Amino acid sequence: MASGIRDRVVIAGMGCTEFGERWDTGPEALMVEAFEEALADAGIERKQIEAAWLGSALDDVNIGNSAIPLSTALRLQNISVTRVENMCATGTEALRGAVYAVAAGACDVALALGVEKLKDTGYGGLPPRTKGLANDLWMPYGSAPGAFAQLAGAYSARHGVKAEDLKRAMAHVSWKSHQNGALNPKAHLRKPVSMETILGAPMIADPLGLFDCCGVSDGAACAIVTTPDIARGLGKNNSVAIKAIQINVSSGWESQYGEWDGSYVRNTREASKRAYKEAGVTDPRSQIDMTEVHDCFSVTELVTMEDLGLSDEGRAPFDILDGKYDSGGKLPCQIDGGLKCFGHPIGASGLRMAYEVYNQLLGRAGERQRGKVDFGLTHNLGGAPANSLCAVSILGRLER
């Protein structure tokens, strides 16, 4: 019987670039920037890295196919390097690869790096996909906000929440994250935004307004992982351990088969259930101290609070409006500003979330520090709610 990866791998060091419109910085420089910070944080030499995972989602936007862009950017000599892509969970997928390699004993030190250079597309939003494949013959070409906006109407219909109440709760999600992001020097957007501005913003996809949507940006984030023993050898006596990483992927149940009503994300429910079990978390509401979730759109964060079991079903809008997830609330969410303030360089986002949890666990989050943090959770959601994939990771202190 598999016992999971809990406490078998620790983070030796992490790095994260400033996210934003990095017009003057290419993908290679972004990778180097995140990597050098992680290397210095880990206190190791680059030659100690035995395997690496590159996460980048959009192969046609500047990074390129294969693992070669990473190995050439960092000049990694004669080690195995792998590129992974799993939509918006790509960064966490890269981390999972590196963690599994160390947990399996295949290597002692591994690197996970996620990067995306989206601003070179020359327009807002993600590039529309098209490959001339069979799905293009029937599948509607909706945008990401369009796909996630549909959660709102379905949520209102299921829970009888009035559209205006849901709109206010969504606006609070964004208001809260922009408050937090203003304190983060690495965030792309660092200005608080008023509720009035958020509520009055132009519509992008009904009922999501401009501030209900995260932007896109350039950025990279990186983790170096190793065994607890090696970390202790490096003088790290308060290591951040990987407690769980779980991924759940749609099989077509939501979009082609099930009784799914469109108001929640099943993959988040399944991935978090398994992650809690792997991490030994029995009561997430009391044990998890903070979350970094996939707030691509405000309504996504709202339903995610229920899907993670942190709010009762139908109650997330009210918990949000009550401030439960604000930085000073009972269970802060997006204490670093989230996707709303960092934007979403897809390959990097999962590792950027882990970077904040890691710093909070180590008490290094500066103005944003949330007292003592014992458990933090990251959550990525890729695709569309009807056809998605979800990654949930839990980080905490090493317990052995």
List of residues 6+ apart from 193 with CB closer than 8 A: 174, 175, 178, 211
> Residue 341 in contact with residue 178, Cβ under 8 Å?
yes
Q: Which residue from 145, 343, 345, 396 is in contact with another protein, where contact means CB under 8 A?
A: 145
- Output 99 or 216, the one with its CB closest to another protein: 216
Regarding 140 and contact with another protein (CB under 8 A), the answer is: yes
Examine residue 207 and say whether the peptide bond preceding it is cis (omega within 30 degrees of 0): yes
List the one residue from 203, 313, 364, 399 that touches another protein (CB under 8 A): 203
Q: Minimum distance from CB of 32 to another protein (Å)?
A: 29
* 106-135 footprint of another protein as x/- string (CB under 8 A): ---------------xxxxx--x-x-xxx-
Tokens of 332: 């802060």
Structure tokens at 3: 């016992």
Q: Does 159 bind another protein (CB under 8 A)?
A: no
Residue 86, strand partner residues: 88
**Is 341 a binder of another protein (CB under 8 A)?**
no
Lateral strand order in the sheet of 375-384: 80-84, 51-55, 109-117, 218-226, 10-16, 240-249, 387-397, 375-384, 290-292
195 vs 203, beta carbon nearer another protein = 203
Does 321 engage in binding with another protein (CB under 8 A)?
A: no
Separation CA 369–CA 373 (nearest Å): 9
Check if the beta carbon of residue 136 is closer than 8 Å to that of residue 174.
no
Q: Which range of residues in 43-51, 254-262, 324-332, 338-346 is near another protein by CB under 8 A?
A: 254-262
Among 40, 68, 104, 157, binds another protein (CB under 8 A): 157
Taking the complex as a whole, the smallest distance from the CB of residue 145 to another protein amounts, in Å, to: 6
- Tell me, what amino acid is at 281? V
CA atoms within 13 A on the CB side of 241: 24
Among 50, 108, 159, 262, binds another protein (CB under 8 A): 262
Examine residue 261 and tell whether it contacts another protein (CB under 8 A): yes
Instruction: Find the binding residues for another protein in span 217-246 (CB under 8 A).
Output: none
Q: Return the closest-CA partner of residue 281 out of 315, 305, 302, 308.
A: 308
| Phi and psi, residue 113, nearest 5° | -135, 130
198: contact with another protein by CB under 8 A: no
What's the min distance (Å) between Cβ of 318 and another protein?
Answer: 21
Angle of helix 298-307 versus helix 163-181 axis, rounded to 10: 100
Q: Does residue 387 belong to the site contacting another protein (CB under 8 A)?
A: yes
Compute how many residues bind another protein; rule: CB under 8 A: 48
User: How many CB atoms within 10 Å of residue 46?
Assistant: 14
Instruction: Kindly state whether residue 164 participates in binding another protein, applying the rule CB under 8 A.
Output: no
Using the rule CB under 8 A, which residue among 1, 2, 105, 141 binds another protein? 141
Residue 2 found at the interface with another protein (CB under 8 A): no
Tell me which residues in 361-380 interact with another protein (CB under 8 A).
none
Q: Taking CB under 8 A as the rule, does residue 161 contact another protein?
A: no
**253 lies in the site for another protein, by CB under 8 A:** yes
Q: CB 206 → another protein: shortest distance, Å?
A: 4
- Residue 165 binds another protein, judged by CB under 8 A: no
Whether 284 contacts 333, CB under 8 Å:
no
Q: How far apart are CA 299 and CA 301, in angstroms?
A: 5
Which H/E stretch holds residue 205?
Answer: strand 203-205
One of 2, 137, 282, 283 touching another protein (CB under 8 A)? 137
Per DSSP, the three-state class of 323 is coil
CA 220 to CA 56: how far, in whole Å?
10
Binding mask 67-106 for another protein (x = CB under 8 A): ----------------------------------------
Residues that bind another protein (CB under 8 A): 121-125, 128, 130, 132-134, 136-147, 149-154, 156-157, 203-206, 208, 251-253, 255-257, 260-262, 384-387
